A and B are shown apart, each in its own frame.
Chain A
Amino acid sequence: MSNPVLTISHLKKTFGDNVVLKDIDFFANEKDVVSIIGASGSGKSTLLRCINQLEKPTSGDIFFHDKNIQEAGFSLSSYRAKVGMVFQSFNLFNNLSVLQNCVVGQIKVLGRNRKEAEQRALDILSKVGMDQYISAKPRQISGGQKQRVAIARALAMDPEVLLFDEPTSALDPEMVGEVLNVMTSLAKTGLTMLVVTHEMDFARDVSNRIIFMDAGVILEDSTPEEILNHPKNERTRMFLNRSIKNK
Chain B
Amino acid sequence: MPTSFFEWVVFFINKYGLFFIQGAGTTLFIASIGTIAGFAIGLAVAVVRTIPVEENDSLARKFFYKFVRFIFVAYIEIFRGTPMIVQAMVIYYGSAELWGLDMSPMIAALFIVSVNTGAYMAEISRGGIISIDRGQYEAAQSIGMTHSQTMLNIILPQAIRNILPSIGNEFVVNIKDTSVLNVISVTELFFMSKSAAGTYMRYFEVFFITCLIYFVLTFSVTRLLLLVEKKLEGPDSFVIHGSQTVPQAVIKGGRE
Contact = CB atoms under 8 A, between A and B. Distances in A.
B56 interface: yes
Interface stretch (B19-27, B103-111, B151-159): B151-159
Contacts of B143: 80-81, 84, 105, 109, 153-154, 157
B27 to A, nearest CB: 34
Contacts of B71: none
Given A77-B145, A140-B251, A94 B240 contact: no
A108 B242 contact: no
Interface in B41-65: 54-56
A97 B240 CA distance: 13
* Interface residue SS majority, chain B: mixed
Given A77-B145, A93-B139, A105-B143, A137 B255 contact: no
Given A95-B157, A154-B143, A108 B149 contact: yes
Contacts of B256: 139
B149 to A, nearest CB: 5
Contacts of B146: 77
A154 B248 CA distance: 27
Contacts of A77: 144-146
Interface residues of B, number: 34
A54 interface: yes
Contacts, number: 101
Interface residues of A, number: 42
Nearest to B250: A135
B144 A95 contact: no
B153 A108 contact: yes
A85 B137 CA distance: 13
A122 interface: yes
A133 B144 contact: no
Interface string B210-244: 00000000000000000000000010001111110
22 contacts: A52-B142, A78-B144, A81-B143, A81-B144, A85-B142, A87-B135, A87-B139, A95-B157, A108-B145, A109-B149, A126-B243, A131-B241, A132-B240, A132-B242, A132-B243, A134-B245, A135-B239, A139-B255, A140-B251, A140-B255, A141-B255, A150-B139
Given A80-B144, A134-B245, 5 more contacts: A80-B142, A92-B139, A96-B154, A122-B245, A140-B255
